[in-house]
C-alpha cells in the first residue's frame, strides 16, 4: 500500500502558488473585501507547534473567504522590537538587530513551509526605520493635539543593574538577574492621553458585536467606571508648613474618592497612599514615616502584589474632621494598600462595610461602626466580626441618612456634601493614561530633544526618522542609548545651542497599535494610503491570544481614534471581528533530580514506563501551555519533517474547539497522519472506476445511493455553517463523517452502477473542496488527481442543494414520564396525530402505560414525543 509523499507534494504546490502570485492582492473598489489578520508574532527564535495554531485558523478563514468570492487581504509581519532581543544581546553578545533579523529569517521560512496564503509583498518588520519613522511623526502630531504629555511616574528600579524592570522581571521583590531588592522610583516619562477617550472606548464596546463576550467584559472592567463622590476631610493637628496641596483649592484638606459616601458615618480612619503628596511632605519631618514609605516602595508596582500584601499602615498623628460632624475626628494613616494611581490617592475607611478596611481596623484596633443594617437584622444587636457587610440594607447610626436604602443614601449623602461644599458626586475610572517611555535600546526612539534653554523641543519633521545608533554596547548596565558617546548630543532645533536627545524609546505596544493600518499599503511613503485604509479597514477577522484581550486591543482602539482626531483616517474601531484562540499544551517531563526534559528526550520502554536520556525514570508533570522554560515544546520543523504541514494544520484544527486549549500528543498527530493517507488513497487508488469529471448525477436515485448524495450535501451545509461560526473542530468531524460515508460505498452491491459512480465522484470532489482551506496541499493534489479544472485554491466554495441537504427520514424519541422508552422512524414532518398514535402503539410504551390512557402527550415535531402517564 502506497504512502502519500507530502514532501514532494507540499513543495510543488507552494511553488505553484508562489509563481502565480496567487495571494498577492490589490484594492479593487466595488469588490467586497475581507481583511483577515493574525496577531503578528514577536520574532523570538523558532516556531513551535503552539505558535502556528492561530496562523492555521487565519489561513483557513482566508482561503475560505477567498473561495466565497471575497477579495482577501491576509498579510504577515514582525513585531520586532522588544526586551528579549536585549536579553539575548546581553546573554549571547549578539546585536539585537542581527538576532532579530536571523529570527525573522528562520520564522519566515517556517511559515512558508506551512503553506500559509500570505501576501508576502506586504511583509513589515517594526524595527525598520521605514516603519517606525511614521510613528515618530504620529507622536509629534499627538503632541500638538495634546494627546501626548510628560509627567512623573513610578517604576521598578534595580539599583545594581541601574535599570528599570518590567513587573515580570521582579520576582519576590528582587531583580531577576541581579537579585537586588527592587525600589520604586519616580521618573519623568511620556504619556498618551487614552483617558481623553474613556467614555467613547467604554461606550463603543457594546457595538463590538463580533467580539467575544469575555473580552468585552475584560475591557469594561479594565476601564472600570465607578460612580461615587469626592469628599474633603479638613485636617486637624500639626500641619506641615507649607500645607500640602489639595484639589479644588481647599488648602489643608484631604481629598478622598469613595463609592460609598453612604457609609460616611461609619468612617473610622482616613488613609493616604505612600506616594500621596501629603504623605511625602509629612515624611520630611518623620523618620519613621519615611522608613515606612521606603518599605512600601520596595513592594513593587504591580497591583496584584499590592492588593495581596498584608494590610499595613503608619499613624501620621494628623486627624481628619468628619465632613458631616465637625466634632468627630478620625486618625490619618499612610497605608500600603492605597493606590496613588486610582481616585485621589486617599480613602476614608469604613471597616464595617469594606473587607480591606475591616482587616486594617482589626490590626490597628480602630472602631468598627455598622451603618448599613442587613434586611431583617436587629439594629440593637447587629455587629460585625470577621466579615464586612457589603450588600444592600437600611442605613442606621447615620443621622439624616437613617432608614434609607444604600442607593438612596448615596444620593442623599452626595447632595448634602455638595450643599456643604465638602465634596461632590463624581465618576472615577480605573483606566490610567498610557505610559509609553521605556528606558531601553531596542525600541523606537522618541523624537524629542531636551534643550537647557528651550525645554522640550520636538524633532523637526524633516529630520525624521530619528534612527537608532548601531554601534552600541551592553557592557555597561543601563540604557545603551543613554551612554552612547555621541548619539544623544545634538543642536537644539530652535536655538542651536548644545542639547540632548531623549534616550527613552517607545513601549512596543506603540508599534502594534497601528501595524494593521500599515498592511493596507505597506510600501507607501506615508504611514498608509488613505484610499487603501478606506478600502481595507476595518479588519474583518482578527485572530490572536486572549492574553492581548485588554492592553493591545485597547491601545489599538485608542490609537485609531487618536489618528482620526489628527486627520489620518476616518474610523473608530479597527477590528470588526475578533477571535481569541486557546493555547497549545503538552505534558511536562522532569528527570529524577527535577530538571525539565524535552518531549523528544523521553522514551517509552516496552513495559510502558517512561525513561529519560540515561534510561532513568521520568516524572510526568501536568499538561501545561508550551513554553521554553518548561521544555514542553514540540518543534515545528520536526513535525513538518515527519508528517508534513497539512497533517500539522489538520491536527491543530481538530478535536478542541478553537477558543479552548488544545493538547498536543504524539498519538494524536499519528492518527491525523493515518487519515491523511486514507484520503490520499481514496483518490489515488480508487476502488471503483470514476466517471470523467463533469458527469451529471442522474435523477431518480435508488435509496441507498441517495443516502450518499444526502451525506454529501449535508456535509457542505454543515461545514460551511461551522466555518462561518469558527467551529473548526466540528467541521473536521463533519468532513470525517463524509469520508466514512464514501468508504462504505464500494462494499455495496449496487456500487458499480453509473448512478452510484456519478454520486461517488460528486462526493469525492466535495470532500476535496471542503478540505481545501484546512489541508491545502493535499486537497490541491487530490483535485488534480480527480481531473478538476485549474487550481483548487481558485475554485469557488461548493454550494449545498437544499433539497439534498435535508433529512428525509427522522428518528423521533419517545419518552414516558420523562424516560426514554423507544424510538420511532418516520418521514420528516409527519403529522402530529400520526406520530402520537404510532408512539402509543409502540410495545415498550404500552408496557409502561400499563393500559391506562395517557394524561398528557407533548409532541415536538421531528424530535420527541413525551407521554405523561
Partner RNA sequence: GCGGGCGUGGCGGAAUUGGCAGACGCACUGGAUUUAGGUUCCAGCGAUGUAAGUCGUGGGGGUUCAAAUCCCCCCGCCCGCACCA
What part of residues 378-437 is at the interface with RNA (CB under 7 A)? 430-432, 434-435, 437
Query: In Å, what is the CA distance from 729 to each residue of 155, 172, 631, 700, 784?
Result: 45, 41, 27, 35, 26
Query: In Å, what is the CA distance from 483 to each residue of 127, 187, 445, 467, 489?
Result: 21, 18, 15, 16, 11
Please report how close the Cβ of residue 25 comes to RNA at its closest, in angstroms: 26
Please report how close the Cβ of residue 605 comes to RNA at its closest, in angstroms: 14
Q: CB-wise, 497 or 868, nearer to RNA?
A: 868
In the region spanning residues 531 to 560, those forming contacts with RNA, defined by CB under 7 A, are: 546-548, 550-552
C-alpha cell at 283: 515624611
Quickly list H helices, 725-798: 728-744, 754-771, 776-785
In the region spanning residues 224 to 253, those forming contacts with RNA, defined by CB under 7 A, are: 224
In the region spanning residues 574 to 633, those forming contacts with RNA, defined by CB under 7 A, are: 624-625
Quick check: 648 and 640 in contact, CB under 8 A?
Answer: yes
Which residues on adjacent β-strands are paired with residue 78? 125
Among 130, 307, 570, 592, binds RNA (CB under 7 A): 307
Please report how close the Cβ of residue 531 comes to RNA at its closest, in angstroms: 29
Please report how close the Cβ of residue 674 comes to RNA at its closest, in angstroms: 4
Among 566, 611, 690, 733, binds RNA (CB under 7 A): 733
* CA 833 – CA 622 distance, rounded (Å): 56
Please report how close the Cβ of residue 824 comes to RNA at its closest, in angstroms: 9
* Run of H or E including 491: strand 489-491
In the region spanning residues 341 to 360, those forming contacts with RNA, defined by CB under 7 A, are: 341-342, 355-356
Binding mask 632-671 for RNA (x = CB under 7 A): ----------------------xxxx--xxxx-x-xx-xx
b/e 335-362 (16+ beta carbons within 10 angstroms → b): bbbbbbebbbbbbbbbbbbbebbbbbbe
* CA 79 – CA 444 distance, rounded (Å): 12
Q: CB-wise, 10 or 158, nearer to RNA?
A: 158
Which residues on adjacent β-strands are paired with residue 544? 580
Quick check: 158 and 175 in contact, CB under 8 A?
Answer: yes
Please report how close the Cβ of residue 341 comes to RNA at its closest, in angstroms: 7
Quick check: 520 and 75 in contact, CB under 8 A?
Answer: no
Please report how close the Cβ of residue 192 comes to RNA at its closest, in angstroms: 10
Please report how close the Cβ of residue 280 comes to RNA at its closest, in angstroms: 20
C-alpha cell at 475: 557592557
The answer to the question of residue 189 lying near RNA (CB under 7 A) is yes
* CA 323 – CA 255 distance, rounded (Å): 11
Among 729, 748, 753, 830, binds RNA (CB under 7 A): 729
Q: CB-wise, 289 or 845, nearer to RNA?
A: 845
Query: In Å, what is the CA distance from 114 to each residue of 109, 564, 706?
Result: 9, 37, 38
* Run of H or E including 358: helix 355-363
Please report how close the Cβ of residue 717 comes to RNA at its closest, in angstroms: 12
The answer to the question of residue 474 lying near RNA (CB under 7 A) is no
* CA 684 – CA 785 distance, rounded (Å): 7
Q: What share of the chain is helix, strand, coil (3-state, %, to 5)?
A: 40, 20, 40
Among 316, 529, 541, 815, binds RNA (CB under 7 A): 815
Please report how close the Cβ of residue 36 comes to RNA at its closest, in angstroms: 19
Among 817, 837, 841, 846, binds RNA (CB under 7 A): 817
Please report how close the Cβ of residue 164 comes to RNA at its closest, in angstroms: 4
> Which residue is associated with the grid cell 478620625?
330
Q: Is 563 left (phi over 0), alpha (psi -120 to 50) or beta?
A: alpha
Binding mask 197-216 for RNA (x = CB under 7 A): ----------------xx--
Residues near RNA (CB under 7 A), total: 99
Please report how close the Cβ of residue 156 comes to RNA at its closest, in angstroms: 6
Binding mask 61-100 for RNA (x = CB under 7 A): ------------------x-xxxx----------------
Q: Phi and psi at residue 159, in whole multiples of 5°?
A: -70, -20
Quick check: 676 and 42 in contact, CB under 8 A?
Answer: no
Please report how close the Cβ of residue 79 comes to RNA at its closest, in angstroms: 4
Q: CB-wise, 2 or 462, nearer to RNA?
A: 2
Please report how close the Cβ of residue 721 comes to RNA at its closest, in angstroms: 10
In the region spanning residues 36 to 65, those forming contacts with RNA, defined by CB under 7 A, are: 41-42
Please report how close the Cβ of residue 864 comes to RNA at its closest, in angstroms: 4
Please report how close the Cβ of residue 468 comes to RNA at its closest, in angstroms: 15
The answer to the question of residue 860 lying near RNA (CB under 7 A) is yes
The answer to the question of residue 221 lying near RNA (CB under 7 A) is yes
Among 31, 628, 674, 828, binds RNA (CB under 7 A): 674
Of the ranges 173-181, 259-267, 344-352, 860-868, which one interacts with RNA (CB under 7 A)?
860-868
Among 314, 559, 675, 804, binds RNA (CB under 7 A): 675
* CA 414 – CA 93 distance, rounded (Å): 61
Burial of residue 66 (number of CB atoms within 10 Å: 0-12, 13-18, 19+): buried
452 alpha carbon, distance to own chain's centre: 43
Is residue 225 reached through a cis peptide bond, with omega within 30 degrees of 0 on the bond before it? no
Quick check: 116 and 59 in contact, CB under 8 A?
Answer: yes
Please report how close the Cβ of residue 434 comes to RNA at its closest, in angstroms: 7
Quick check: 623 and 585 in contact, CB under 8 A?
Answer: yes
In the region spanning residues 774 to 793, those forming contacts with RNA, defined by CB under 7 A, are: none
Q: CB-wise, 83 or 290, nearer to RNA?
A: 83
* CA 133 – CA 140 distance, rounded (Å): 11
Among 508, 529, 588, 720, binds RNA (CB under 7 A): 508
Residue 610's CB is within 10 A of a number of other CB atoms, namely: 15
* Run of H or E including 235: strand 225-236
Q: CB-wise, 33 or 276, nearer to RNA?
A: 276
In the region spanning residues 91 to 150, those forming contacts with RNA, defined by CB under 7 A, are: none
Q: CB-wise, 187 or 196, nearer to RNA?
A: 187
The answer to the question of residue 768 lying near RNA (CB under 7 A) is no
Among 263, 301, 581, 766, binds RNA (CB under 7 A): 301
Query: In Å, what is the CA distance from 296 to each residue of 169, 183, 256, 304, 363?
Result: 18, 9, 20, 14, 17
In the region spanning residues 149 to 188, those forming contacts with RNA, defined by CB under 7 A, are: 155-156, 164-169, 187
C-alpha cell at 757: 459512480
What DSSP state is assigned to residue 575?
B
* CA 852 – CA 740 distance, rounded (Å): 45
Among 512, 560, 632, 720, binds RNA (CB under 7 A): 512
The answer to the question of residue 820 lying near RNA (CB under 7 A) is yes
The answer to the question of residue 688 lying near RNA (CB under 7 A) is no
Q: CB-wise, 144 or 619, nearer to RNA?
A: 619
Quick check: 384 and 394 in contact, CB under 8 A?
Answer: no
Binding mask 794-813 for RNA (x = CB under 7 A): -----------------x-x
C-alpha cell at 29: 473598489
Residues in the chain: 869
Q: CB-wise, 162 or 355, nearer to RNA?
A: 355
Please report how close the Cβ of residue 642 comes to RNA at its closest, in angstroms: 13
Amino acid at each position: 500500500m502506497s504512502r502519500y509523499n507530502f514532501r514532494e507534494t507540499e513543495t510543488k504546490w507552494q511553488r505553484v502558488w508562489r509563481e502565480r502570485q496567487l495571494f498577492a492582492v490589490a484594492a479593487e473598489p466595488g469588490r467586497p473585501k475581507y481583511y483577515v489578520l493574525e496577531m503578528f508574532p514577536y520574532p523570538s527564535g523558532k516556531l513551535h507547534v503552539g505558535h502556528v495554531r492561530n496562523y492555521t485558523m487565519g489561513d483557513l478563514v482566508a482561503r475560505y473567504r477567498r473561495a466565497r468570492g471575497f477579495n482577501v487581504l491576509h498579510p504577515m509581519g514582525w513585531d520586532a522590537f522588544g526586551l528579549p532581543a536585549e536579553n539575548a544581546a546581553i546573554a549571547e553578545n549578539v546585536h539585537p538587530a542581527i538576532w532579530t533579523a536571523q529570527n525573522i529569517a528562520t520564522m519566515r521560512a517556517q511559515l512558508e513551509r506551512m503553506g500559509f496564503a500570505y501576501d508576502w509583498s506586504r511583509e513589515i518588520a517594526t524595527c525598520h526605520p521605514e516603519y517606525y519613522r511614521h510613528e515618530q511623526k504620529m507622536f509629534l502630531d499627538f503632541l500638538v493635539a495634546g494627546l501626548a504629555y510628560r509627567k512623573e511616574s513610578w517604576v521598578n528600579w534595580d539599583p545594581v543593574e541601574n535599570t528599570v524592570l518590567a513587573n515580570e522581571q521582579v520576582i519576590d521583590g528582587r531583580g531577576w538577574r541581579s537579585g537586588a531588592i527592587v525600589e520604586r522610583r519616580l521618573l519623568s516619562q511620556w504619556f498618551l492621553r487614552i483617558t481623553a477617550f474613556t467614555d467613547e472606548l467604554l461606550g463603543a464596546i457594546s457595538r463590538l458585536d463580533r467580539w467575544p463576550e469575555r473580552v468585552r467584559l475584560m475591557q469594561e472592567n479594565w476601564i472600570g467606571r465607578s460612580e461615587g463622590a469626592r469628599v474633603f476631610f479638613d485636617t486637624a493637628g500639626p500641619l506641615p508648613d507649607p500645607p500640602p496641596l489639595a484639589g479644588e483649592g481647599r488648602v489643608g484638606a484631604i481629598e478622598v474618592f469613595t463609592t460609598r459616601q453612604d457609609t460616611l458615618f461609619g468612617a473610622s480612619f482616613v488613609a493616604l497612599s505612600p506616594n500621596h503628596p501629603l504623605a511625602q511632605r509629612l515624611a520630611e519631618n518623620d523618620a519613621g514615616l519615611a522608613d515606612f514609605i521606603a518599605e512600601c516602595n520596595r513592594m513593587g508596582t504591580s497591583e496584584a502584589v499590592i492588593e495581596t500584601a498584608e494590610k499595613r499602615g503608619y499613624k501620621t498623628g494628623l486627624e481628619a474632621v468628619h465632613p458631616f460632624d465637625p466634632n468627630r475626628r478620625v486618625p490619618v494613616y499612610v497605608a500600603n494598600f492605597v493606590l496613588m494611581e486610582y481616585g485621589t490617592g486617599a480613602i476614608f475607611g469604613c471597616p464595617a462595610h469594606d473587607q480591606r478596611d475591616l482587616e486594617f481596623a482589626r490590626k490597628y484596633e480602630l472602631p468598627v461602626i455598622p451603618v448599613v443594617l442587613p434586611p431583617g437584622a436587629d439594629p440593637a444587636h447587629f455587629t460585625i466580626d470577621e466579615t464586612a457587610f457589603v450588600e444592600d440594607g437600611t442605613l442606621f447610626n447615620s443621622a439624616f441618612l437613617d432608614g434609607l436604602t444604600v442607593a438612596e443614601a448615596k444620593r442623599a449623602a452626595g447632595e448634602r456634601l455638595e450643599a456643604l461644599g465638602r465634596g461632590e458626586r463624581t465618576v472615577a475610572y480605573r483606566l490610567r493614561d498610557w505610559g509609553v517611555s521605556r528606558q531601553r535600546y531596542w525600541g523606537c526612539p522618541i523624537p524629542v530633544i531636551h534643550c537647557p534653554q528651550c525645554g522640550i523641543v520636538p524633532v523637526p519633521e524633516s529630520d525624521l526618522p530619528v534612527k537608532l545608533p548601531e554601534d552600541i554596547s551592553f557592557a555597561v548596565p543601563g540604557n545603551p542609548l543613554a551612554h552612547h558617546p555621541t548619539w544623544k548630543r545634538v543642536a537644539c532645533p530652535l536655538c542651536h545651542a548644545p542639547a540632548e536627545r531623549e534616550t527613552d524609546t517607545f513601549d512596543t505596544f506603540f508599534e502594534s497599535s497601528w501595524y494593521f493600518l500599515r498592511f493596507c499599503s505597506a510600501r507607501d511613503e506615508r504611514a498608509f494610503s488613505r484610499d487603501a485604509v478606506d478600502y481595507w479597514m476595518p479588519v474583518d477577522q482578527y485572530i490572536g491570544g486572549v492574553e492581548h484581550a485588554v492592553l493591545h486591543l485597547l491601545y489599538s482602539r485608542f490609537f485609531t481614534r487618536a489618528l482620526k482626531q489628527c486627520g489620518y483616517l476616518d474610523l473608530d474601531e479597527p477590528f470588526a471581528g475578533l477571535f481569541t484562540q486557546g493555547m497549545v499544551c503538552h505534558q511536562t517531563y522532569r528527570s529524577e533530580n527535577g530538571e525539565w526534559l524535552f518531549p523528544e528526550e523521553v522514551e517509552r520502554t516496552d513495559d510502558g514506563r517512561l525513561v529519560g536520556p540515561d534510561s532513568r525514570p521520568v516524572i510526568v508533570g501536568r499538561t501545561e501551555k508550551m513554553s521554553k522554560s518548561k521544555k514542553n515544546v514540540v518543534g515545528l520543523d520536526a513535525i513538518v519533517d515527519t508528517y508534513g504541514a497539512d497533517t500539522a494544520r489538520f491536527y491543530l484544527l481538530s478535536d478542541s474547539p478553537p477558543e479552548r486549549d488544545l493538547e498536543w500528543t504524539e498519538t494524536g498527530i499519528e492518527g491525523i497522519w493515518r487519515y491523511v493517507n486514507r484520503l490520499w488513497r481514496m483518490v489515488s487508488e480508487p476502488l471503483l472506476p470514476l466517471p470523467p469529471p463533469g458527469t451529471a448525477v442522474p435523477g431518480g436515485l435508488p435509496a441507498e445511493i441517495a443516502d450518499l448524495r444526502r451525506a454529501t450535501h449535508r456535509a457542505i451545509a454543515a461545514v460551511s455553517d461551522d466555518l462561518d461560526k469558527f467551529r473548526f473542530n466540528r467541521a473536521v468531524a463533519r468532513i470525517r463523517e463524509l469520508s466514512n460515508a464514501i468508504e462504505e460505498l464500494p462494499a455495496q452491491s449496487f456500487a458499480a452502477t453509473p448512478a452510484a459512480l456519478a454520486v461517488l465522484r460528486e462526493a469525492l470532489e466535495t470532500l476535496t473542496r471542503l478540505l481545501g482551506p484546512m489541508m491545502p496541499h493535499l486537497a490541491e493534489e487530490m483535485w488534480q488527481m480527480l481531473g478538476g479544472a485549474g487550481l483548487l485554491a481558485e475554485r469557488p466554495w461548493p454550494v449545498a442543494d437544499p433539497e439534498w441537504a435535508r433529512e428525509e427520514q427522522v428518528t423521533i424519541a419517545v419518552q414516558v414520564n420523562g424516560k426514554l422508552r423507544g424510538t420511532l422512524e418516520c418521514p420528516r414532518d409527519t403529522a402530529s396525530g400520526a406520530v402520537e398514535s404510532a408512539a402509543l402503539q409502540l410495545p415498550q410504551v404500552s408496557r409502561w402505560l400499563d393500559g391506562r390512557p395517557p394524561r398528557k402527550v407533548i409532541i415536538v415535531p421531528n424530535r420527541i414525543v413525551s407521554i405523561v402517564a
